[in-house]
Each structure stands twice: as structure tokens, then as C-alpha cells.
């Protein structure tokens, strides 16, 4: 409040960086690390404020930044994560290695947002634009469920970020060489301030849990979850998940419990605004409980490889509006991606060569989002859209850096 901007000092340069300035900044950080950003400009001989230097470094000069066009998969990931997290660009960026939050934000605002709008999908809610006109019943129920899920994942990411911070604080044994590159938002080459090892992007566990809810069979079987090699194959062999609920969205209590063996500590948030986080346990048995205002509660742990027990009520096919008992009946590349790309009209699928045909059927927001149509169509569109998002999580290739 009322703090003077760091760039108010007379004589400090603003605006685009010159190659010379870039060179100075690079050379200085390469040799000394950035240390205190405030002191850096003077030491490096730059007529810039520290904040400007930091931004230039994190958004442009950092050696682990990938520049250029976003791949199809990156686009999918951004959309899917945005549907879950909203405009939390830094959180989204943690799932897109080598991309900065600023870059993702810009790309969203200039490309993806428009594309979704074109499709007739509200880029904020990721729902069909005039869904508000639709009747309630099952659809709003579904939306409520999805909203809940998004809340969970959002809260989980928040907790995960805390975990990272804590582990960074604990860690004091790693150098800051440029050789091993951490995630985009974790690169902190401070010479005298060791940082933790780069943490690989982690699987959004809760999404797996969501998708898991509709697996009716065992892994590998038809209707069952994909084998570990297809999803996130994270090493936490003793992790378990138990879940019981009488329905998300009603006033009874749902409960998920993750028990893991991660070596990381316990994280938790207590007494949020309307949401309560509770950290329970020790490094070998972690529990994180989330309660929302509706007395639903979910517990997370920093663990993976969950085993689902009972969850039908929350995420059975009916609650998602499916009739065939299989939410994953659509192939993502043939569904959501095509839907997206077709509507964009300015891109072509270049990888894999699939997904170019089969435009009929349940093609989601067909017709470029005409904005008219029956409630049933919207119901289908909405369903397909979200299913595709969930599908993406589920169908990420094993070598995907994202999940």
C-alpha cells in the first residue's frame, strides 16, 4: 500500500531491453547468480530496477526457457489446466516445462481464449456460453461436481506449492549449476543460496482420482484404468487411497484419504476462507484434508498410485450424464482436439497424423459455437468438453512431461 515503485528512481531505464543489457545481465548472473535482485542492477552495471532485471531473466533470458510456438499438447494442457485452475498462470506453468507463466498467459489471451470463444465456450467457465439459460437438474449437478473437482485440484496445487517451498527450505545440499535445469518457476540460480533439486512435473493426482471414478474394471482391462505405463507412473508403491462418499454436492460427507510414503513433509492449510485444510500425519503417512462449505471433505497426500474403493456416487457415469457407462468412450484426439482445431480454422494437426477425420458424431461444440440449439445439445457439448479435458489427463503419453 503506497509503496513507491522500484523503478521510480530517476535515471533508471524502462522499456525494451537492448542486446547489450541482456548480455550484461546474463554475464553477471552466469558468474554470480542473481542474489538480491535489488542490488543486481548496480553490480551488473545496468540502469534498470531489480524487478525489471528479474522479469527479464525469468521471462526471457533464463537458459531453460523454450520459446516459439506452443505444441498441440501444450495447448491442450493449458486449456485443461485453465479449466481447472482459472487464471493461475504460475500453477499452470508448473505443468508446462520450459514455459513461463507470462508466456502462457499471453498465449491464452491472444490465442486460446479467442478460440474457445469462437467455439461458443466461455473461456472463463469453460462452459457453453448460454448454459445459464439451460434448465437445472442433472446438468447443473454435473457442473457442480466439476466445480468441486476443480476446487480440489486447485487446493491440491496450492498445497503442493507449499510443499515445494518447504522442501526448498530444507534442502541445502545442491548446487545451482545451469547443467541441471529445474522447472520454469523453480530456477533460482542464487550463488550463495542453495536450492532444492528440480522437481519433475507431477501428476495431478486428483484428476487421476476423478478419472478413476469411472473405471469399472481393473487396470488393463476394458473399462478399467490405463496401465501405469500410460498414465503417470510415479513411484509410490505403498500409496493407497480410500474414498467414501454419499455424493458430492449434497450435505453428507465425502472423504478421500491418501496414504503415502513420500519423504516429503506434511503440508496443510488451515482456516481458509470457507475452505479448511488440515495437515495430518508424518512423512510416512500423509493426510491432507479439505473441507468445503458443503461439508464435503477430501484428503490429499503427497502420494500417488491410488487405489480407489468406492466412489460411484460422486462420479458414476450417470452423474456425468453418460449413458453408456464409459466416460472415456471418445478419443481425445478425435474429440476435443479436433473440435478445437476445427473451430480455430487456422491450424492443422501435425503430430501423429491422427484426429483429422471422424468429425461427425459427438463433436462437441459443433458449428463454431453458433450459440443456438437445444438444451440437449449443450448438455452433450458440455459433457464432451469436460470429458475431453479429463480424457487428456488420462491419456497423456507416458513420456509426457506434463503428467
Partner DNA sequence: AATGACCACAACCGCCTACGG
Partner DNA sequence: GCCGTAGGCGGTTGTGGTCAT
Rule CB under 7 A: which residues touch DNA? 1, 3, 5, 7, 13-17, 35-38, 48, 50-52, 54-56, 58-60, 67, 87-91, 101-103, 105-107, 109-111, 165, 169, 185, 188
Shortest distance, position 275 Cβ to DNA, whole Å: 14
Task: With CA atoms as reference, report the closest residue to 153 among 248, 214, 84.
Answer: 84
Task: With CA atoms as reference, report the closest residue to 279 among 158, 382, 186, 384.
Answer: 158
Exposure letters 289-302 (e unless 16+ CB within 10 A, then b): bbbbebebbbbbbb
> Distance (Å, rounded) from C-alpha 171 to C-alpha 165?
10
In the bound state with DNA, the residue whose beta carbon lies nearer, of 324 and 346, is 346
List of residues 6+ apart from 146 with CB closer than 8 A? 386
Shortest distance, position 382 Cβ to DNA, whole Å: 23
Shortest distance, position 295 Cβ to DNA, whole Å: 25
Residue with cell 472415456: 328
Asked whether 20 and 13 are in contact (CB, 8 A), the reply is no
In the bound state with DNA, the residue whose beta carbon lies nearer, of 74 and 103, is 103
In the bound state with DNA, the residue whose beta carbon lies nearer, of 40 and 308, is 40
C-alpha cell at position 326: 464409459
In the bound state with DNA, the residue whose beta carbon lies nearer, of 164 and 389, is 164
Shortest distance, position 156 Cβ to DNA, whole Å: 15
Q: List % helix, strand, coil for the chain (3-state, nearest 5).
A: 40, 10, 50
Do you know the residue count of the chain? 403
In the bound state with DNA, the residue whose beta carbon lies nearer, of 35 and 226, is 35
Burial of 175 (0-12, 13-18, 19+ CB in 10 A): exposed
Shortest distance, position 36 Cβ to DNA, whole Å: 4
Give Cα separations from 252 to 17, 115, 139, 248, 294 (angstroms): 57, 39, 20, 8, 8
Shortest distance, position 48 Cβ to DNA, whole Å: 7
Shortest distance, position 65 Cβ to DNA, whole Å: 9
In the bound state with DNA, the residue whose beta carbon lies nearer, of 90 and 285, is 90
In the bound state with DNA, the residue whose beta carbon lies nearer, of 131 and 158, is 158
How many C-beta neighbours within 10 Å does residue 320 have? 21
Shortest distance, position 57 Cβ to DNA, whole Å: 9
Asked whether 116 and 110 are in contact (CB, 8 A), the reply is no
Asked whether 393 and 204 are in contact (CB, 8 A), the reply is yes
In the bound state with DNA, the residue whose beta carbon lies nearer, of 163 and 308, is 163
Amino acid at each position: 500500500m503506497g509503496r513507491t515503485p522500484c523503478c521510480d528512481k530517476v535515471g533508471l531505464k524502462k522499456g525494451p531491453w537492448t542486446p547489450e543489457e541482456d548480455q550484461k545481465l546474463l554475464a553477471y548472473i552466469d558468474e554470480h547468480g542473481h542474489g538480491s535482485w535489488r542490488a543486481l542492477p548496480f553490480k551488473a552495471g545496468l540502469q534498470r530496477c531489480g524487478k525489471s532485471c528479474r522479469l527479464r531473466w525469468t521471462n526471457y533470458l533464463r537458459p531453460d526457457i523454450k520459446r516459439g510456438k506452443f505444441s498441440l499438447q501444450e495447448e491442450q494442457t493449458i486449456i485443461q489446466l485453465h479449466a481447472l485452475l482459472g487464471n493461475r498462470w504460475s500453477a499452470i506453468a508448473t505443468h508446462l516445462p520450459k514455459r513461463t507463466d507470462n508466456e502462457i498467459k499471453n498465449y491464452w489471451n491472444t490465442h486460446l481464449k479467442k478460440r474457445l470463444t469462437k467455439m461458443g465456450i466461455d473461456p472463463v467457465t469453460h462452459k457453453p456460453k448460454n448454459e445459464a439459460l439451460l434448465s437445472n437438474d442433472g446438468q447443473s449437478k454435473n457442473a457442480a461436481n466439476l466445480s468441486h473437482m476443480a476446487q480440489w485440484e486447485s487446493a491440491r496445487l496450492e498445497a503442493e506449492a507449499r510443499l515445494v517451498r518447504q522442501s526448498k527450505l530444507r534442502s541445502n545440499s545442491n548446487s545451482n549449476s545451469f547443467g541441471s535445469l529445474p522447472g520454469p518457476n523453480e530456477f533460482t540460480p542464487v550463488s550463495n543460496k542453495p536450492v532444492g533439486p528440480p522437481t519433475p512435473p507431477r501428476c495431478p493426482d486428483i484428476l487421476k482420482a476423478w478419472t478413476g471414478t469411472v473405471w469399472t474394471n481393473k487396470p488393463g482391462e476394458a473399462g478399467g484404468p490405463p496401465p501405469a505405463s500410460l498414465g503417470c507412473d510415479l513411484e509410490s508403491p505403498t500409496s493407497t487411497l480410500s474414498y467414501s462418499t454419499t455424493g458430492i454436492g449434497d450435505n453428507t460427507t465425502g472423504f478421500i484419504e491418501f496414504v503415502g510414503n513420500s519423504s516429503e513433509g506434511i503440508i496443510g492449510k488451515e482456516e481458509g476462507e470457507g475452505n479448511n485444510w488440515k495437515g495430518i500425519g508424518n512423512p510416512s503417512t500423509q493426510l491432507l484434508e479439505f473441507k468445503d462449505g458443503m461439508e464435503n471433505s477430501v484428503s490429499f497426500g503427497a502420494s500417488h498410485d491410488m487405489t480407489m474403493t468406492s466412489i460411484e456416487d460422486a462420479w458414476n457415469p450417470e452423474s456425468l450424464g453418460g449413458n453408456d457407462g464409459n466416460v472415456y468412450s471418445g478419443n481425445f484426439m478425435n474429440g476435443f482436439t479436433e473440435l478445437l482445431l476445427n473451430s480455430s480454422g487456422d491450424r492443422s494437426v501435425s503430430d501423429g497424423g491422427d484426429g483429422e477425420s471422424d468429425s461427425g458424431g459427438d463433436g462437441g461444440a459443433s458449428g463454431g459455437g453458433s450459440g443456438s440449439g437445444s438444451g440437449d445439445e449443450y448438455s452433450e457439448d458440455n459433457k464432451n468438453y469436460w470429458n475431453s479435458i479429463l480424457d487428456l489427463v488420462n491419456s497423456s503419453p507416458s513420456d509426457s512431461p506434463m503428467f
